[in-house]
């Protein structure tokens, strides 16, 4: 993957801007923000607002919190309308759209699969009996089993369904942080939550009529090597989001076979193909997050065709004969490269 960026600027910027770095815990990981802000900006107030925003996403969409809105909906009987907050309905609307467009490669209705394979809140190891039960269950895609009433602020199941929004909620959390930054008058920032990031403007760009350096934000794309953190390459972001899905962070090994935490609802089990990671660019991080998952599940050939149909900019990293093979679309460069 070609390097196209310069090192991030540090310290004060032209136009009276200063670099502010904020962070905190959420969703079993950490959120962070680097922002070029006015000297008089209330940093503690911004810190609290950002923390509150991601905490709200976690409270609504966490499968590990028994009283989350997600779990409240999962416990509801089939056919019953359930009032839900506007935020989770927005995420569900996007999830169903990507589910439909990806022909079920991305599917938010994988909660039972996640739990059966030991990646959810119910158990920390695969359970053979639970796995057999999920394989015998109905496999219609979630967009055929879930009905949303956006105007009425409610949703209902049309068939048994257990939602899991881990493939999209972190991306939405990044988008919520960007909203908070904009509400506080910040025009130049980089918001991150785990492997999902979104750039707001550039580094210290124009503000109040004064020009800063205006360079895009430099983002390292992680190498898909288990147990090691290193960069596969670097990309530049300006008013753009990026998300990566891979099989190298969370997995279990059964009989010498590594099984990733990402579920393929179509086959009723963990994704199994030669892709190690997929990175997607999009205007918002929620969409990038969902599509990165969809393309990883779809696999190298089908995923590439899917990305081309959807007009996505994506980078596929495939294991092939002991080598990394990269295939890029859009700003990732056209064609295939082998390392």
Name the residue ranges covered by the structural domains of the chain: 65-157
Q: Give me the pLDDT at residue 257, please.
A: 59
Q: Cβ-count burial of 60 within 10 angstroms (0-12 exposed, 13-18 middle, 19+ buried)? A: buried
Q: How far, rounded to the nearest angstrom, does the alpha carbon of residue 59 sit from its chain's CA centroid?
A: 17
Contact 272, 262 (CB under 8 A): no
User: How many whole angstroms separate alpha carbon 268 and alpha carbon 55?
Assistant: 31
Q: Which two tokens stand for residue 226?
A: 């288990």
Q: Selecting from 1.10.3980.10, 3.20.80.10, 3.40.50.300, 1.10.10.60, what CATH number does the domain 65-157 have?
A: 1.10.3980.10
Q: Give me the pLDDT at residue 47, please.
A: 98
Q: Give me the pLDDT at residue 14, please.
A: 43
User: How many whole angstroms separate alpha carbon 165 and alpha carbon 111?
Assistant: 8
Q: Give me the pLDDT at residue 252, please.
A: 58
User: How many whole angstroms separate alpha carbon 66 and alpha carbon 75?
Assistant: 10
Rounded mean pLDDT for each run of 10 residues along the chain, 339 residues in total:
33 67 94 96 98 98 96 98 98 98 96 90 84 84 97 97 96 98 97 94 61 78 60 84 82 61 90 92 98 97 97 94 89 74
User: How many whole angstroms separate alpha carbon 74 and alpha carbon 146?
Assistant: 11
- Taking the CB of residue 9, how many other CB atoms lie within 10 A of it? 16
- Measured between alpha carbons, how far is residue 22 from residues 4, 39, 193, 278 in Å? 26, 15, 12, 28
Q: Considering the entire predicted model, what is its pTM?
A: 0.89
């Amino acid at each position: 993957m070609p390097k196209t960026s310069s090192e991030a600027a540090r310290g004060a910027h032209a136009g009276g801007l200063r670099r502010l770095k904020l962070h905190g815990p959420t969703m079993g990981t950490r959120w962070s923000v680097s922002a070029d802000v006015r000297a008089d900006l209330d940093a503690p107030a911004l810190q609290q607002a950002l923390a509150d925003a991601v905490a709200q996403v976690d409270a609504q969409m966490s499968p590990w919190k028994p009283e989350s809105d997600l779990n409240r909906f999962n416990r509801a009987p089939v056919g019953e309308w359930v009032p839900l907050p506007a935020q989770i309905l927005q995420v569900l609307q996007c999830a169903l759209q990507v589910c439909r467009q990806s022909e079920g490669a991305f599917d938010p209705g994988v909660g039972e699969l996640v739990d059966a394979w030991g990646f959810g809140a119910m158990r920390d190891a695969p359970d053979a009996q639970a796995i057999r039960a999920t394989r015998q269950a109905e496999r219609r895609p979630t967009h055929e089993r879930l009905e949303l009433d956006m105007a009425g602020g409610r949703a209902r199941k049309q068939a048994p369904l257990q939602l899991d929004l881990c493939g999209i909620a972190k991306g939405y959390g990044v988008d919520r942080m960007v909203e908070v930054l904009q509400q506080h008058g910040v025009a130049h920032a980089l918001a991150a939550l785990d492997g999902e990031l979104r750039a707001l403007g550039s580094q210290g760009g124009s503000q109040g009529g004064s020009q800063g350096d205006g360079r895009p934000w430099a983002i390292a794309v992680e190498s898909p090597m288990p147990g090691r953190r290193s960069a596969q390459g670097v990309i530049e972001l300006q008013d753009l989001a990026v998300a990566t899905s891979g099989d190298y962070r969370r997995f279990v090994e059964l009989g010498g076979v590594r099984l990733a935490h990402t579920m393929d609802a179509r086959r009723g089990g963990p994704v199994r193909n030669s892709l190690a990671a997929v990175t997607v660019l999009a205007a918002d991080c929620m969409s990038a997050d969902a599509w990165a998952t969809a393309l990883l599940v779809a696999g190298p050939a089908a995923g590439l065709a899917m990305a081309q149909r959807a007009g996505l900019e994506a980078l596929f990293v495939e294991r092939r004969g002991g080598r990394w093979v990269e295939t890029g679309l859009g700003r990732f460069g056209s064609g295939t490269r082998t390392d």
